[in-house]
Amino acid sequence: MDQFHLFPPQASTTAQQVDWIFFALTAITIFFCAVVFLPILFFAVKYRRGSKADRSNAPSESLLLESGWTIVPLVISIGLFGWGAITYFHLERPPSDALQLQVVATHWMWKLQHAEGKREIDELHVPLGRTVALTMTSQDVIHSFFVPAFRVKQDVVPGRYTGAWFKPTKAGEYHLFCSQYCGTHHSAMIGRVVVIEPLDYERWLNAGAPGETIARAGERLFRDRGCSGCHGANSKFHAPPLENLYGKPRPLATGEMITADERYLRDSIFLPGKEIAAGYENIMPSYAGQLSEEEIMQLIAYLKSLANEPSPNEPNEKRD
């Protein structure tokens, strides 16, 4: 029990911001408990049965008291709301220079993959001082990615992508938990995040046989699964070309305009009839049940690499 801490270590840039809100809420709660319960105790003793306290002329109203207990809590609540909202938006939006990582949760483990292709299970190596952004999905039920030391907790939901980010500020090993009850071995769905120096991280990434990058694996799938047969340049089918698609506005057959983000690409593979691109027929078969979540993530990484402006951390494929 020498490892017992009242608080998890503060090991990310956002840990302190979250803790300040927590401490402020605790302090305010303690203060108002005192304001309510100390007078109760005081009056209970003063006016107890048989006491000689003066009970005449009891005041029945006080404008100062009533406006006070309305206005003061109102100001405090609005202040807390604003503070919480600002922090929340900050926590929700990953900085653009983030290192991208893919996370697939499943009964009962965490499968993680780095952009360069390195895979891990229930263990995540990240470099100290770099922002790390996670794109997460689940293969079965709802799980939740929880790293107390980073104050990061995000549900991982089947059928959609959720994100989380953090920037580690201290080297070391930290707990990774699943914080949604997800079945028999929920409590065993734990792992660790290992924060190491950037140079050690490079060395760790390059150790062992050079693997395929995520985008490269996606390119292979794109050919092997026949996507290129229709979406390729020389196809005899009228299918939309997928170069320079990611992140761009996309006109739909319904006249709507949407952004071709991860959600759209994923749905287009599983539910091709849902959002038909303007000028095309609904002829694509669904790949539901034929591709794993990891394979979808690889395909999306490949489509991203075909976009004009690669995100700064998505290594542009130069080999050919």
Give the per-residue contact string, 129-168, with ligand CUA (x = CB under 6 A; - = no): --------------x-------------------------
Stretch that binds ligand CUA, among 71-79, 174-182, 243-251, 259-267 (CB under 6 A): 174-182
> Cβ of residue 122: shortest distance to ligand CUA, in angstroms?
11
Cβ closest to ligand CUA, residue 110 vs residue 174 = 110
Applying CB under 6 A, the site for ligand CUA has a residue count of 9
102, HSE (Cβ side, Cα atoms, 13 Å): 23
As a three-state string, the secondary structure of 254-290 is CCCEEECCHHHHHHHHHCCCCCCECCCCCCCCCCCCC
Q: Is 178 in the site for ligand CUA (CB under 6 A)?
A: yes
If you search the block for the tokens 């009964």, which residue do you land on? 107
Q: Please identify, using beta-carbon distances, which residue of 143 and 231 lies nearer to ligand CUA.
A: 143
- For ligand CUA, the closer of residues 188 and 199 by Cβ is 188
Residue-wise over 224-250: b if at least 16 C-beta within 10 A, else e? eeebbeebeeeeeeebeebeebbbeeb
Q: Does 111 bind ligand CUA (CB under 6 A)?
A: no
Contact between 180 and ligand CUA by CB under 6 A: the answer reads yes
Q: Does 176 bind ligand CUA (CB under 6 A)?
A: no
What six digits make up the tokens of 114?
């780095």
Both ends of the chain: CA-CA distance in Å? 55
Measure the CA–CA gap between 105 and 177, rounded to whole angstroms: 11
Q: What distance in Å separates the CA atoms of residue 106 and residue 112, rounded to the nearest whole number?
A: 11
Shortest CB 112 distance to ligand CUA, Å: 14
Given 111, 125, 153, 186, the residue binding ligand CUA (CB under 6 A): 186
Rounded Cα–Cα distance for residues 133 and 136 (Å): 10
Q: Under the rule (CB under 6 A), what is the footprint of ligand CUA?
A: 105, 108, 143, 178, 180-182, 186, 189
